[in-house]
Amino acid sequence: MLSLALGPFTFSMQHLALLLALGAALLLASRFGPRGPGDAQAWVWRLFLLALVAARAVFVARYWPQYSSHGWQVIDLRDGGFSPLGGLAVAIAAGAVLLWRRPTLRRGVLAGSGLGLGLWLAASLALPLWQQGSALPASHLQQADGRTTSLAAYQGRPLVVNLWATWCPPCRREMPVLVAAQQAHPGVRFVFVNQRESVGVVANFSATTGLALSQVLFDPPGALAAEVGAYALPTTLFYSAEGKLLGSHLGELSEASLAHALKMLEPSVP
């Protein structure tokens, strides 16, 4: 399972684990820290926000060439571009200064942040072990001419599988980025698996947008999304040349976040 739907909201398993770890950290900080303005719970929350901002800043700096021509994307967090280690280093440094100056906060902040960090690290290690290595889905897909195929037919080179639909705004926004990457990385196969739409709808989308889509497959019943546990669009899957899942991305990809994701495939690129 790659994501989980909770009412009208859909969360990737990684994001859900982070939210649960934060909630546990705030609860424990409240239990063990002093009460009143500027209490331990408030400081754990502030350190989390600082880590978030720092993680974004480090990621943007690392991929500045991709962001430089689209400045507004720096604050568009929907692409999921963060550097966890960078954010963690800044938060630890700030936390050390805080606890040195405010010793009354030590018990609550250390208890809360320690629990939250431990839960997040455990999830960060466990989720990839659970998700990664999964074989290519066996769902039957349709080609534009009506013939049946599956993703196994594309094994042999690193594979990027994008689940999308024309009615999905983030799918439409990220499509030029994916098409450009498809042209720039001939050693990687990009397959666009349309969900629950007809060949005519996709052909009209391609004609009106001017995007020369290639390797488009059709999944009228949404079987592929159900098989991999993707409950929101767009979802992008990254497979090795041997057909093993290396990672996934829920939501819109920017040029920078796609470049970062493609690094997972580098050892498999011929």
Strands 9-12 and 3-6: antiparallel
pLDDT for 5 equals 77
Listed by start position, the domains of the chain span 10-131, 141-268
**pLDDT tens digits for 68-81?**
988 888 998 889 99
Peptide bond into 65 cis (omega under 30): no
Reported pTM: 0.91
| Residue 249: φ, ψ to 5° | -140, 125
Does the pLDDT value for residue 124 go beyond 60? Answer: yes
Percent of the chain with pLDDT over 90: 78
pLDDT for 133 equals 65
Does the pLDDT value for residue 270 go beyond 60? Answer: no
Spatial CB neighbours of 166, under 8 Å, sequence gap ≥ 6: 172, 194, 197, 201, 202, 205
**pLDDT tens digits for 184-205?**
999 999 999 999 999 999 999 9
Q: Which residues pair with 233 in a beta bridge?
A: none
Q: How confident is the model at residue 3 (pLDDT cuts 50, 70, 90)?
A: confident
Percent of the chain with pLDDT over 70: 96
**pLDDT tens digits for 34-69?**
766 679 999 999 999 999 999 999 999 999 999 998
Residue pair 100/33 in contact by the 8 Å Cβ criterion: no
Does the pLDDT value for residue 206 go beyond 70? Answer: yes
pLDDT for 180 equals 95
Q: In terms of DSSP H, where are the helices of 63-103?
A: 64-67, 84-101
Counts for the chain of helices (H) and strands (E), in that order: 9, 9
State the CATH architecture for 141-268: 3-Layer(aba) Sandwich (3.40)
d(CA 36, CA 93): 24
Give 214-225 as a DSSP string. -SEEEETT-HHH
Reference 15, options 231, 245, 256, 255; nearest CA is: 231
**pLDDT tens digits for 127-144?**
777 766 678 999 999 999
d(CA 103, CA 107): 8
d(CA 15, CA 248): 12
pLDDT for 105 equals 93
Does the pLDDT value for residue 28 go beyond 70? Answer: yes
Name the more confident of 10 and 8: 10
The mean predicted confidence, pLDDT, of the chain is 92
